[in-house]
């Protein structure tokens, strides 16, 4: 009983701690060893947004990324940057495997999650939820909306 109480007492302040550390959502999420850190996107009034995130497979097996979905978008997909006729473009990738122990940086000029059919404009400082779909289930990402001309996450370089 004492231990239970102690555990209860210890557990109580934890969500509060998380809150003070970081507004309302954690930077780091994980599923089956797949960790996602610093999901971010750029403020935009348009119908499309590119979401960037640092992924690391700390688990024992390979993980297959297959897509994404979010409540604020009608569609989500993994896309890769290409330069076509001098015009930047993003090509849809059906799936991307991530081997055990490897990292994958979704970043400008490389890989991204493209959300299309956004139901609202994204303004700097906003947050929204996104689910990265994998063969091991969906990984929740808490996406932070950065400035319209941001090149990286505001906490990039920190390791949480």
Which residues contact other proteins (rule: CB under 8 A)?
47, 78, 80-88, 91, 93, 95-98, 102-105, 108-111
Residue (of 99, 97, 95) closest to 58 by Cα position? 99
The dihedral formed by the CA atoms of 36, 24, 77 and 79, expressed in degrees to the nearest 10? -60
Containing H/E element for 94?
A: none
When the beta carbons of 33 and 129 are compared against other proteins, the nearer one is 33
Closest CB 1 distance from other proteins, rounded Å: 50
When the beta carbons of 32 and 81 are compared against other proteins, the nearer one is 81
Closest CB 133 distance from other proteins, rounded Å: 15
When the beta carbons of 65 and 145 are compared against other proteins, the nearer one is 65
Residue 133 burial by CB count (10 A; 0-12/13-18/19+): exposed, middle or buried? middle
Closest CB 55 distance from other proteins, rounded Å: 9
């Amino acid at each position: 009983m004492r231990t239970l109480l102690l555990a209860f007492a210890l557990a109580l302040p934890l969500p509060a701690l998380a809150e003070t550390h970081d507004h309302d959502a954690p930077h780091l999420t994980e599923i089956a060893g797949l960790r996602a850190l610093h999901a971010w996107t750029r403020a935009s009034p348009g119908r499309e947004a590119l979401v960037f995130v640092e992924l690391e497979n700390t688990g024992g097996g390979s993980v297959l990324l297959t897509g994404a979905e979010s409540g604020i978008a009608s569609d989500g997909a993994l896309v890769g940057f290409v330069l076509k006729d001098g015009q930047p473009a993003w090509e849809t990738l059906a799936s991307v495997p991530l081997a055990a122990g490897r990292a994958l940086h979704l970043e400008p000029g490389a890989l991204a999650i493209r959300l299309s059919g956004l139901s609202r404009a994204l303004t700097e400082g906003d947050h929204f939820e996104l689910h990265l779909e994998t063969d091991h289930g969906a990984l929740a990402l808490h996406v932070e909306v950065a400035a319209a001309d941001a090149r990286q996450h505001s906490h990039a370089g920190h390791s949480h």
